[in-house]
Chains A and B, each alone.
Chain A
Amino acid sequence: NAGVTQTPKFQVLKTGQSMTLQCAQDMNHEYMSWYRQDPGMGLRLIHYSVGAGITDQGEVPNGYNVSRSTTEDFPLRLLSAAPSQTSVYFCASRGRHTDTQYFGPGTRLTVL
């Protein structure tokens, strides 16, 4: 099993550009989440999903969109990148009846 995979590992964008951060898991997990991590702020939930076709907003959803068309994939779209979105982004997944949430390796995004 590959676990939770994220691409790309690093990305530099210019203000106003859009892009999609990819996240996939091969553990058949129902729950998937996107977090951003900024220095001194801990992990903040952006969007999450409890199953295919179901998504909901987290703590800091503005400027981001998600969709969950399959159980495996949970892409995060930045609509119009801003410098405030410079951060490390983590995707995570967890099975409905299990305790352990697994994190992907992260994507380090810089917006100039």
Chain B
Amino acid sequence: QQPVQSPQAVILREGEDAVINCSSSKALYSVHWYRQKHGEAPVFLMILLKGGEQKGHDKISASFNEKKQQSSLYLTASQLSYSGTYFCGTATGGGNKLTFGTGTQLKVEL
């Protein structure tokens, strides 16, 4: 069963913050975040393993709440380059068998 992402779409002004959520009905081993620009391949952002960790680089970070089977992606001080569709992929075990959400379309405007 696919994880559920919210919101489905969001429009930001440059410099604003956004949060994208990913929820699963299954017990998760890991959550993977990707960004895809129109007509391009998805690009890996980060992976979070069970244990409730938080990760981040630059102005993009993420958390994983193992009890709620939920992950959130935080984008702060958004830039035009952040525009794209963000996908979470979830795994219930080790290895690389991922189930992806349907994506969140993010558009950053001047």
Partners in one complex: yes
B97 contacts A by Cβ under 8 Å: yes
Residues of the B chain whose Cβ atoms lie less than 8 Å from the Cβ of A44 = 100
Tell me the bound Cα distance from A56 to B46 in angstroms: 25
Most interface-central of B40, B87, B99 (chain A CB within 10 A): B99
**A residues contacting the other copy or chain, number (CB 8 A):** 24
Given A33-B96, A101-B96, A105-B41, also A43-B87 (CB < 8 A)? yes
Nearest CB in chain B to that of A33: its residue: B96
Given A99-B46, A100-B44, A101-B44, also A42-B87 (CB < 8 A)? yes
Chain B stretch 76-110: residues in CB contact (< 8 A) with chain A: 87, 89, 95-103
How far is the CB of A37 from the nearest CB of chain B, in Å?
Answer: 9
Given A31-B95, A99-B47, A101-B32, also A42-B100 (CB < 8 A)? yes
Residues of the A chain whose Cβ atoms lie less than 8 Å from the Cβ of B46 = 99
Question: Range of interface residues on chain B?
Answer: 20 to 34
B43 contacts A by Cβ under 8 Å: yes
Contact of A59 (CB < 8 Å), options: B44, B99, B103: B99
B2 contacts A by Cβ under 8 Å: yes
Residues of the A chain whose Cβ atoms lie less than 8 Å from the Cβ of B40 = 105
Residues of the B chain whose Cβ atoms lie less than 8 Å from the Cβ of A104 = 41
Residues of the A chain whose Cβ atoms lie less than 8 Å from the Cβ of B102 = 40-42
Residues of the B chain whose Cβ atoms lie less than 8 Å from the Cβ of A31 = 95-96
Interface residues of B (CB under 8 A from A): 2, 32, 40-44, 46-47, 87, 89, 95-103
